[in-house]
């Protein structure tokens, strides 16, 4: 037992004395705990069924005490071994609790009693964030906050009924020593990650009226007490009427005078057909003129490898893109161009099918190991395996040589657009959907949200790399993938590898995950080296996917299978940011419009935290001093989503003035062009540009 206590980390002698004292005082009470709990449960059940019962638990307990005293009957006797096991469990639990509370008292200046429980901790953190917590647990925003929104999960202490998880992204004020008001410096966020990160105060943006009323109803139902003294330092009183009076309305931050953030719009996936012809140029021209009328800065377009180099190696057809680029230049718009070395079709939002080049598919039929492969041997032809980067399997060329020849051809073909500054950025596709990640959650293989996905390292080339790494480490038997990592739609707790305390944190698990994530970084490093050579002084960027589901678990299983070694005790994005810094590349990140509370309501079992993930990745990039751009992961047409994007694009009162370098909207469509949706989009563009809007709700 002593060894287990040492593993939990050391505490001061004073804390140990407090802990031991608490154990000694409460051990004698252990024998009564089960009886009291059972009596309490029976009382609650009887009350719910309409059975006559004492008015309170105390009255029932008094009756039982009197009966015992009158009859002289002994207590229920439990076996000695059971008592000892109970004491050991309680000591273990209290040891952990004592260390948590000791740390909060010592470092956070929280005024917690010696035997505080988890409710005291949650209440203290909620009050720290500016919320009012009544003695009965009723929690709601204070008047001074102007009613904090239900969606501000970054500052609100929210408990999940299904998971008992408390998603707190911001640290207590006492950890922020000397930071300007409105900022939160994380000193020890998630076990040593994100050091010195500035977090903005909670968003002033409310949610929809339906959600606000639902939140308010919950606050009232949980017991608004009349003339009760408020917990903490607040001495006001509150009743039902006061709770109803503070119902929040949509409040917006004024972005007038803030930094200018360029806004681009993605063009439809099928704007160029498989013959490399521009589809409906007249209709596209009209839409682009409308975008230009609201001062959109430019558009983003995919240059598909499967279209340009479709039939014969090193024979490129750029004709449709030439006509498109000329239209964009005539309208004085800018271009973000994606080097798309992946197939289109089969993923969320794909409305066209554009496979890899035919000659690559022919090679794949005779050598399927050029594609990513899962444990069951299923191939994924969405993109080439990174194991082919240095293998001459593509008619005498390696994969990176094929990518370089394609990029160099594009640079030569469109030289005038580079010289005129029309092409402002090249985004280099590095994996499925053009993102830097493994294809760990393919819909075509049966994956459904929020499955953890599967490792994709079972082609012969990646297995050869794994064997070599295991031999170098001196453990050749580690040259295998995990055999207890579940399947595409497993949950972390259902697997031996990703569950709390699972093999992901074992010696073998750490070796495998280090190798798996390093393969991802090495692939990006190789391709970006050649991209920098091909495009010279033009800005290059890399798109990183937002794997936000299971973010609140210890293992971060979905991120691990995607190649991001980012469990709760390790920052998996700092190494990627450092690699991008080496090449002067920008980071383009997704899911900036998503709210944690929305995810919790829709898929509580996913334990997702997009807000926490966004802030971790943005700060990792800013700490590395690289430009950060972003885009929305899902279609967005409502003010709430736009406000969330603005909040992430321009953090409130950032002392370093950090903000997104650009934002790309997903995507141009007839739905966006509908009158109400487009008016909302126009308003969003103005605010991204730092202009004032007339209908701001303060």
The answer on whether 483 is annotated among ligand-binding residues is no
Cβ-in-10-Å burial (0-12, 13-18, 19+) of 692 comes to exposed
Residues 6+ apart with CB under 8 A from 13: none
DSSP 148-182: --TT-TTTS----TTT------S--GGGGTTPPTT
The answer on whether 374 is annotated among ligand-binding residues is no
CA distance 597 to 587: 26
Q: What are phi and psi of 301, to 5 degrees?
A: -140, 140
Query: Which residues are bridge partners to 631 per DSSP?
Result: 664
Contact 469, 480 (CB under 8 A): no
Say which of 18, 309, 435, 454 is annotated catalytic: 435
The answer on whether 211 is annotated among ligand-binding residues is no
Q: What percent of the residues of the chain are helix, what percent strand, and what percent coil, each to the nearest 5?
A: 45, 10, 45
Query: Which residues are bridge partners to 347 per DSSP?
Result: none
The answer on whether 590 is annotated among ligand-binding residues is yes
Assess whether 435 carries a catalytic annotation: yes
The answer on whether 85 is annotated among ligand-binding residues is no
Query: Which residues are bridge partners to 379 per DSSP?
Result: 373
The answer on whether 541 is annotated among ligand-binding residues is no
Q: Is 435 helix (H, G, I), strand (E, B) or coil?
A: strand
CA distance 168 to 104: 15
The answer on whether 342 is annotated among ligand-binding residues is yes
Contact 620, 575 (CB under 8 A): no
Q: What are phi and psi of 40, to 5 degrees?
A: -65, -45
Burial pattern 441-458, b for ≥16 Cβ within 10 A else e, equals bbeebebeebbbbbbbbb
Assess whether 631 carries a catalytic annotation: yes
The answer on whether 87 is annotated among ligand-binding residues is no
Say which of 454, 631, 640, 647 is annotated catalytic: 631
User: Could you tell me how far CA 103 lies from the centroid of its own chain?
Assistant: 27
Contact 580, 587 (CB under 8 A): yes
CA distance 360 to 355: 10
Query: Distances in Å between the alpha carbon of 82 and those of 34, 78, 87, 89?
Result: 12, 7, 9, 11
**Among candidate residues 256, 253, 265, the one with its CA nearest the CA of residue 689:** 256
The answer on whether 632 is annotated among ligand-binding residues is yes
Contact 139, 122 (CB under 8 A): no
Q: Is the dihedral of CA 357, 360, 362, 368 positive or negative?
A: negative
Q: Is 281 helix (H, G, I), strand (E, B) or coil?
A: helix
CA distance 415 to 180: 47
Known binding positions for substrate:
302, 342, 350, 543, 548, 590, 632-633, 667
Binding residues: 302, 342, 350, 543, 548, 590, 632-633, 667
Catalytic residue list = 435, 631
């Amino acid at each position: 037992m002593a060894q287990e206590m040492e593993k939990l980390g050391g505490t001061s002698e004073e804390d140990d004395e407090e802990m031991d004292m608490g154990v000694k005082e409460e051990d004698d009470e252990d024998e009564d705990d089960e009886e009291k709990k059972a009596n309490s449960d029976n009382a609650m059940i009887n009350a719910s069924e309409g059975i006559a019962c004492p008015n309170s638990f105390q009255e029932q307990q008094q009756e039982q005490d009197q009966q015992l005293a009158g009859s002289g009957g002994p207590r229920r006797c439990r076996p000695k071994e059971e008592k000892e096991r109970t004491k050991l469990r309680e000591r273990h639990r209290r040891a952990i609790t004592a260390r948590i509370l000791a740390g909060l008292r010592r470092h956070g200046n929280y005024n917690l009693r010696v035997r505080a429980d988890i409710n005291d901790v949650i209440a203290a953190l909620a009050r720290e964030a500016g919320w009012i917590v009544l003695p009965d647990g009723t929690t709601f925003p204070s008047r001074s906050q102007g009613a904090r929104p239900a969606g501000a999960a970054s500052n609100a202490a929210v408990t999940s009924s299904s998971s008992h998880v408390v998603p707190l992204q911001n640290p207590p004020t006492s950890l922020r020593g000397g930071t300007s008001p409105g900022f939160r410096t994380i000193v020890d966020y998630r076990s040593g990650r994100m050091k010195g990160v500035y977090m903005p105060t909670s968003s002033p943006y409310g949610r929809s009226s339906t959600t606000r009323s639902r939140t308010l109803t919950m606050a009232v139902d949980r017991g608004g007490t009349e003339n009760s003294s408020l917990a903490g330092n607040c001495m006001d009183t509150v009743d039902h009427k006061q709770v109803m009076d503070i119902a929040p309305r949509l409040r917006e931050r004024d972005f007038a005078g803030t930094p200018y953030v360029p806004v681009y719009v993605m063009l439809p996936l099928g704007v160029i057909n498989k013959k490399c012809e521009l589809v409906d140029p007249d209709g596209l021209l009209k839409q682009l003129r409308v975008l230009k009328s609201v001062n959109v800065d430019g558009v983003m377009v995919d240059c598909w490898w499967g279209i340009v180099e479709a039939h014969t190696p090193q024979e490129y057809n750029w004709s449709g893109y030439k006509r498109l680029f000329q239209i964009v230049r005539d309208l004085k718009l800018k271009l973000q161009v994606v080097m798309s070395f992946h197939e289109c079709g089969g993923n969320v939002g794909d409305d066209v099918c554009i496979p890899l080049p035919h000659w690559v598919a022919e090679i794949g039929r005779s050598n399927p190991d050029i594609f990513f492969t899962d444990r069951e041997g299923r191939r994924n032809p969405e993109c080439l395996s990174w194991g082919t980067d240095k293998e001459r399997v593509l008619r005498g060329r390696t994969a990176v040589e094929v990518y370089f020849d394609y990029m160099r051809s594009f640079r030569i073909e469109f030289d005038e657009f580079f010289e005129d500054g029309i092409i402002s950025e090249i985004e280099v596709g590095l994996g499925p959907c053009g993102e830097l990640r493994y294809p760990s959650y393919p819909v075509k293989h049966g994956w459904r949200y929020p499955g953890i996905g599967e490792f994709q390292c079972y082609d012969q080339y990646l297995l050869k790399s794994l064997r070599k790494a295991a031999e170098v480490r001196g453990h050749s038997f580690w040259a295998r993938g995990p055999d207890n990592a579940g399947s595409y739609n497993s949950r972390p707790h259902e697997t031996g590898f990703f569950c709390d305390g699972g093999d992901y944190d074992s010696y073998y698990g750490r070796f495998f995950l280090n190798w798996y994530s390093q393969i991802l970084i090495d692939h990006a490093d190789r391709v970006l080296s050649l991209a920098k050579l091909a495009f010279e002084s033009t800005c290059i960027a890399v798109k990183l996917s937002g794997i936000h589901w299971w973010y609140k678990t210890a293992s971060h299983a979905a991120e691990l299978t995607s190649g991001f070694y980012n469990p709760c005790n390790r920052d998996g994005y700092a190494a990627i940011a450092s690699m991008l810094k080496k090449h002067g590349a920008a980071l383009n990140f997704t899911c900036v419009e998503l709210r944690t509370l929305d995810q919790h309501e829709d898929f509580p079992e996913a334990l997702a935290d997009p807000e926490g993930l966004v802030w971790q990745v943005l700060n990792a990039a800013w700490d590395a001093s690289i430009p950060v751009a972003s885009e929305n992961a899902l279609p967005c047409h409502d003010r709430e989503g736009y406000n969330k994007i603005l909040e992430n694009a321009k953090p409130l009162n950032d002392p370093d003035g950090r903000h997104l370098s650009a934002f790309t909207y997903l995507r141009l469509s007839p739905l966006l062009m509908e009158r109400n949706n487009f008016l909302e989009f126009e308003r969003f563009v103005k605010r991204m540009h730092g202009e004032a809007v007339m209908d701001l709700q303060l």
